[in-house]
Amino acid sequence: MSPLTSPQGALAGLARSFVQWLAGWGRTVQLAALLSALALSPSSYRADSRRALARHLYLGTAQALPWFTLLSLLIAIVVIRIVLVTSHSYGLSQYALEMVVRVLVLELIPLAAAMVAALRCTIPMAAEVAALRSGGGWDALAAQGRDPMRAEVLPRAVAGSFCTLMLAAVSSVVALVVAYLSVYGFTSAGFAAYTHTVGRVFSPAVSLIFVLKIVLLGLTVALMPIASVLDAVPRRRANTSAELQGLVRMLVLMVIIEAASLVGNYA
């Protein structure tokens, strides 16, 4: 039996893979922490930086917001109709509105907004950063005395987080409006009962968890793809690309955030 196929060799290979996996996570978290610190620094928002930030905010959100809002409207109409008809058939109409708010607004919309923001905004922006590094633009900025992290990376990261927050906020409002119209119609007679039901769902604890969930999802989809392509460790022996590894790490964190929110809301 050769050393590579022996149990000791297999265990050593697993140990090396695990150490490399932990090191990759550590580098990604370190880069994400650096971007977070830059985002909170007032010196990152000078005149030229504000122009770049405004441009990326617009490009990142304007392309996804209209069609995602329309898609959320259509999905909300279908889901709400299904829930209303099903609850009525089982004699549970009094719980239909609360179920719609919990399932659609608390759970589905934040995850959908994060995924769309990642696919339409943050992952393409991470590819732009990777192309900038490979094409020599990164070194050119450094030679001009400009910090590439502030000039190119930070605006994209902030734009990705803002895109997630905006998509989730607008779609949640649309879903709540559609839910009211589906249950009470075009009248203000049910506004008091509706606000009472929604207020019962969004207790202080649930509201805090909801806000934290959206913020953490926004930070995850904004920072993880870019942090992965900025990983400077050579990947000649890696089986997957930096973009794919960043996507996997992003999905893992999203699952963890969603599981934590479920525990906080219903445990």
pLDDT at 1 over 60: no
Domain assignment present for residue 145? The answer is: yes
2 within domain boundaries = no
* pLDDT given at position 260: 93
d(CA 235, CA 215): 31
Would 199 be classed as within a structural domain?
Answer: yes
Report the number of distinct structural domains present in the chain. 1
Q: Which domain holds residue 233?
A: 7-266
What's the whole-number mean pLDDT along residues 10-24? Answer: 73
The answer to the question of residue 1 being in a domain is no
Q: What pTM, to 2 d.p., does this model score?
A: 0.85
Q: Is residue 124 part of a domain?
A: yes
Does the residue 245 lie in any domain? yes
The 10s digit of each residue's pLDDT in 116-173 is 999 888 888 888 888 888 877 777 888 887 888 888 888 888 899 999 999 999 999 9
pLDDT tens per residue across span 43-91: 777 777 788 888 888 888 888 899 999 999 999 999 899 988 888 888 8
